[in-house]
Structure 1
Amino acid sequence: MARTERDARREWSRDEYEQHWKESRLSLPPVIRIPAATAAAFGVGMALGVAHGSQTAGLRFRAEHAHKLPTNTTGWYLYHKSKNYNMALAGLKEGIKVGAKLGLLSASMFCAENLFDVYRGKKDFLSTGMASLAVAGGFSFWNRFSAPETARTARKGLAFGLAYGLVQDAVSLAKGRPVGYVESIRRHIGKATQSDERTT
């Protein structure tokens, strides 16, 4: 008897677990979605930072040593070796810097999105838009942007959030997960249809 109850509890928790995955955004629970998005943003920022940082360092190295270029093969070998070392080091530093910034912004946005989802009790594009707007505002405040720069950053953040939120909603609908405003529209249309049938 005890074994049967234990098996029933295990089966119920498995069903609950599967339901939690199904109802989560992009079918990924926040505990997985947020770190994955942060890691992806860090990777993109790292790649962009390495490319930009190494290129800038290479140009700077050429400008700084333009007046004393090597005159023999050994000198050119050492010149290129030093240049490559400077490019690699500068690229790594810039990559970590840009990756950390993008990772932090991404983590902040997805955490805020999850907080809005929990607070509102709905998972739709409005939560994503509000989260992006909040992060854009925090980013502007941190960097002490002027009022026009803050407004421009807020517009871009809101546009990104709404677009990304609508994409998530489309994926959710394709996977059969209910989306709040779509269900409201369906209920409203259903009530209107019923009232029309009663009048006829």
Structure 2
Amino acid sequence: MSDAPYERFVGWFHPEFVQKLSLSFLNIDLSTSKMHCNLLRADTQTYHKIIDIFEQLLLPPSDAFGNTMLQHCYVTELLILLNQAHEHTTLTPGIHVISNSKITNIIYYINQHLNDDLSLDSLAQQFFISKYYLTRLFKQYTGLSLHQYVLKKRLIVARTMLMNGEKPYDVYIDVGFNNYPHFSKSFKDEFGIAPSNLNKILE
């Protein structure tokens, strides 16, 4: 693996939200659930479009006219581009698509049990796998350590809950953090804003 620095963007979209978007566009399936791989190949132009959209979506919430509709448009374009990249990956000869059913099942379990113990020891026991093998396998197929994935997933879900009006001191417990200071610091490191300040902006 190259030692060159890289930037990783992580997005999480609620299935019901994606389904509503799909229905509003002549029932076109915009979901990414059919993508049974963790590696997509996009041409340079598509890649830069995807990065540009992510950067727009990561901007702090705004009450400017039409901002919510604009955000929905960004998400729609992003999902279309990801589906197109998946189609290109699937149909292009010579491209080896990385996937692993064990890791897929573990990721699904994590996503459904954010408030549970998701430590390496716990997941290794849950899935009857050596924790050392799990560590190597998870990094190989996702590009993230298990701890990094769980942390990012919890923070992304927390951000969504805060944007839906829930209070920080309720959210940090619901997404599986043991204490508020750790949650607050991790949130600020990830998004550049304290969870309490994000909550105030939306009030």
TM-score, with length taken from structure 1: 0.31
Q: Which has the higher contact order (CA 8 A, sep 6+)?
A: 1
The structure richer in helix per residue is 1
Larger Rg: 1
